[in-house]
Amino acid sequence: MQIVPVPAFSDNYIWLIHDADSGETAVVDPGDAAPVLAELEVRGWALGQIWNTHWHPDHTGGNLELREATGATISGPDSDRIPGSSVILKEGSEVRIGQHVGRVVEVPGHTLDHIALIFDEAGVAFVGDTLFAMGCGRLFEGTPEQMHRSLQRLIELPGATRLYCAHEYTLANARFAAHAEPENAAIAHRLSQVQILRNDRQITLPTTVAEERETNPFVRAGDVETFARLRSEKDSFR
């Protein structure tokens, strides 16, 4: 499974997934079609599937143009708000690319219908806007209870699992994490590493479950009340 980041807008990452054995290619959360089509052309890949983790336009805005250009099937958790969706993904559903089989896990909080795509054998999870490196998504539709539970489900995955988030928010999240846990040496070290990467305009993803267990205050929150306080503080943190 080859996974390629496609930068979009100011801080989005669209993920292209390619299986060399079958020649199949899928894309996760294509908010903009143009950079995806350009990357496909450079690599000589043919897009067959579009997977959406939630309905927000910066994740679905390229759906129809990509389908028009490639004939790709569009899948997601909400047929009404996801442009062109013809396959509904919910808890227990599967997605496939070549011999790789991913399971769908419902992780509400950022939106009520948010899902994650987990490829257990490959040790890969596409988590959209639920979990970010050292952070988590805003609660636009869900409750703190829902998001806290969703994060716990993801962080229970094996430590080596690579988490592919949809935004380059790591530096801002690291700064808040250092504020939230000023005595956490792992956070301080990671902040310095992230600063170096971003100064060189390098990507900070994917992260891993193990890294998040050590340095993400939102997944480290022991209860819903602590999580809700942290999420509220982060909303206004500068």
Q: Which of 18, 59, 100, 148 is catalytic?
A: 59
79: confidence class by pLDDT, cuts 50, 70, 90: confident
pLDDT of residue 23 exceeding 90, the answer is: yes
148 catalytic per annotation: no
Residues facing 74 on adjacent strands:
50
58 catalytic per annotation: yes
Q: Which of 18, 29, 32, 56 is catalytic?
A: 56
56 catalytic per annotation: yes
238: confidence class by pLDDT, cuts 50, 70, 90: confident
